[in-house]
Amino acid sequence: MTTNRWRMGFHLMPPTGWVNDPNGLCYFRGLYHVFHQYSPDWPNGSERGWGHATSPDLVHWTHHGMVIHQDIPEDANGAYSGSAYIVPGGGADGSDLLRLYYTGNVKEPGAHDYIYSGRQANEILIETTDGFDLGEKQVLLRNADYPDFCSCHVRDPKVWSQDGSLHMLLGARDMDDEGLALIMESQDGLSWTTASTVRPTSHFGFMWECPDRIALDGFEYLSFCPQGMAELPWANDLRDQSGYIPLPAAVKLIGCEHVNPALFRRWDFGFDFYAPQTFTDPQGRTILIGWMGLPEPPFDSAPDNLDWIHCLTVPRVLTRCEDGVVAMAPAPELEQLRGEQASFAHVDSAPAQTRTATLPAHRADIVVDGISGPFDLTLDGAARIAFADGELTLNFDDGAQGIGRGRQTRSVNVNALENLRVLVDNSALEIFANNGREAFSTRWFPTADQLDIAIQGTAEAARVWPMGDGMEGTY
Ligand code: FRU
């Protein structure tokens, strides 16, 4: 089933099939480009490559289908994740050149564990001067080019320029099952040598996926997705986690050999978030987009035999809080999709301090400011965001078979709840608390036609807008 009530209107997704990690994020020649991991024939085919979408404004998207296929020996089992780097004036005619770096995954035939033997991780480059017409694939790095202590798991290149050199950050697993990041260095973006490694001061997962280097107000962060985390008390039994470690003042990632895992902070406290990537746009904003999914989810994301699964988060603008926490706010451009403001009203039969609003569809932007004390916001009587006793919780009341499709409870400790922003986009929900210091992303599968919103507690203002469809025409 392709079209139905659960498709998103402002969360990027392809027309059919499977989407995972955002790749190659950039602003190039007047358009935002979002590439993404894509298996268009899912649930039938297993091809994995890059899909492509563009937007003039981060709101209205056009999807261009699958553009990087697994079609050379060096990416025979998947054109895996990677990033974009723009070379100013790098094109033959002196125009800018867009470079896409990704990992070609190859599984060799034979009896292999595909960890310590049998897998190739090739870093591959594709160049384009217009963002659409993609050049020949150039294989830049093979297993033999990585340090000997690496297992066959090395992937997800993120490339940037700093201090007169180009740097490529790669996620890796070593032969002792320690997760780490490799940093390669280059002058021309074609020939790369190993420069350094970034390791945790004590074991922190067996593999790090999708590493990224973020700089905000002169402070640097290492973002990555450690695997092998299920045993940790905060991990909700999930192998795969996504977060960042702030580096001390004046320390650059390219000079940093060790990071302190005690400082790891999750990007998102909800059910469905992984593999984020950032880029800097022409306004100088650092924008993050994540995958609203997980590699091994214990809950359902494609009920009723859908022929599509997952989506990406909305673009989130990052800012550094004084204590080093990175806050995330939906790109303000999304406000273009707001319709006429609807109002919250008190219903006489409800307890004092309860206000409700009903919207005709499950597409809304809800903003609650000036909250004090215990507070809760409920959608369709089933998805509840509640703050009490120093804990902010997202809960699906109806358990495994209901609206949450196996998603039940997620929570994080906070000192207070000051404000809430909730984006409802059919089966995607993004919740931002305390100006985006805490975010919860989740899928849910509401069946009612109308969206019922109820809030309870003390707040200075509660506003809600119906939201339009930025994906119109794409599917
Ligand atoms: C993360 C990831 C990456 C890999 C890609 C393959 O979700 O496993 O490490 O490049 O997905 O689709």
Per domain, the residue ranges of the chain are 14-332, 338-466
**pLDDT at position 1 over 50:** no
pLDDT single digits (tens) 380-417: 999 999 999 999 999 997 654 589 999 999 999 999 99
Q: State if residue 328 touches ligand 1 by the CB under 6 angstroms criterion.
A: no
Token pair 């035939």 is at which residue? 109
Among the four given CATH numbers 1.10.3720.10, 2.102.10.10, 2.30.30.30, 2.115.10.20, the one describing domain 14-332 = 2.115.10.20
Ligand 1 atom with the shortest distance to the CA of 21:
7
In terms of Cα–Cα distance, which of 309, 330, 320, 352 is closest to 441?
330
CATH of domain 338-466: 2.60.120.560
pLDDT at 401: 57
Tokens encoding 237: 């039994």
In terms of Cα–Cα distance, which of 216, 218, 214, 150 is closest to 184?
150
Q: State if residue 277 touches ligand 1 by the CB under 6 angstroms criterion.
A: no
Ligand 1 atom with the shortest distance to the CA of 37:
12
Q: State if residue 35 touches ligand 1 by the CB under 6 angstroms criterion.
A: no
CA of 115 to the centre of ligand 1 (A): 15
Q: State if residue 376 touches ligand 1 by the CB under 6 angstroms criterion.
A: no
Q: State if residue 462 touches ligand 1 by the CB under 6 angstroms criterion.
A: no
- Nearest-Å Rg of the Cα atoms of the chain is 22
Q: State if residue 210 touches ligand 1 by the CB under 6 angstroms criterion.
A: yes
- Indicate the burial class of 352 (C-beta count within 10 angstroms; 0-12, 13-18, 19 or more): exposed
pTM value is 0.97
pLDDT single digits (tens) 339-370: 999 989 887 777 778 899 999 999 999 999 99
**pLDDT at position 159 over 60:** yes
Eight-class DSSP state of 467: B
